[in-house]
Amino acid sequence: MPRILMTGASGGIGTSLRKLLPPIYPDLLLSDIKQPSDLGGYEKFKAADLADLAEVEAICEGVDGILHFGGYSVEGPWDAILQSNIIGCYNLFEAARKKGVKRVIFASSNHAVGFYPRHHRIGTDVTARPDSRYGVSKVFGEGVGALYADKHGIKVTCLRIGNFGEAPLDHRRLSIWLKPEDLVQLCRIGLEHPDIHFEVLYGASYNERSWWDNHRAYDLGYRPTGRAEDFREHAMAEQAKLPPDPVGDYYQGGAFCSMEFDGDKERVIDWKK
């Protein structure tokens, strides 16, 4: 069985996948800057700071594939994004190259393209339009992944993850929801599919309101089991509790677009009239 390294083991996605992955990949090595508080006796864990190349090289030793969910997971100050998501991402790919890792799945984000309007359906080949410093770091990660695939032969899959969780929680997330078991499917495609060289796929379940063309994932065998519309009533009830956000409600990135926004609001107002 292959040895799989999963970074970000203490985060929300990592915590969920720690329960779902072991039956598929029994030789699973977990890593994060701090050990999960609920680490089980059967789980293998090695701490590493992504900003420290030597520590990242140590966790990549003897690894066949990497699920890279580590890093700063929300918008934040530039230095925090720089250390975790820019330097840390580069270190991850460089350590993978040095240690002979064959495949890397990079957790990109919908925030790499968050400034596309919601009425604009997009594929994976569009020009990046990040909605935040966090989104910029995900564009960087996709670029580094492409470089290491083309120049060094690592098979790389970038997943532009929507909203990961057990159910979509508001109107926006009816379009971008990703069920945990569906993320496992996408990870398996990246780790196992023979045709992978470099791919960008959307991390989304079967969402009838989706803004994304994810046909390449389906071409590779993706068959999501989550259906966002099953949770429509709850999501819309929760949406009714939220204040209006003219900018965030217009763009796919939601509140990531409206925070710190001092651009041209007339573009949004004119469209809504």
| DSSP letter assigned to residue 11 | S
Q: What is the 3-state secondary structure (H, E, C) of 15-66?
A: HHHHHHCCCCCCCEEEECCCCCCCCCCCCEECCCCCCCHHHHHHHHCCCCEE
Tokens of 185: 């499917």
Contact between 201 and 185 under an 8 Å Cβ cutoff? The reply is no
Catalytic site includes residue 134: yes
How far apart CA 211 and CA 147 sit, in angstroms, is 28
The SS3 assignment for 164 reads: strand
Q: How far apart are the first and last CA of the chain?
A: 58
How far apart CA 210 and CA 104 sit, in angstroms, is 26
The SS3 assignment for 183 reads: helix
Catalytic residue (choose from 25, 90, 116, 134): 134
Residue with tokens 């009830």, as numbered in its chain = 237
> Please, what is the Cα angle at 115 between 109 and 117, to 5 degrees?
115
Listed in sequence order, the DSSP H helices in the chain are 12-20, 53-60, 78-81, 88-98, 133-152, 173-176, 180-192, 215-219, 232-239, 255-258, 266-272
Residues belonging to the active site: 134
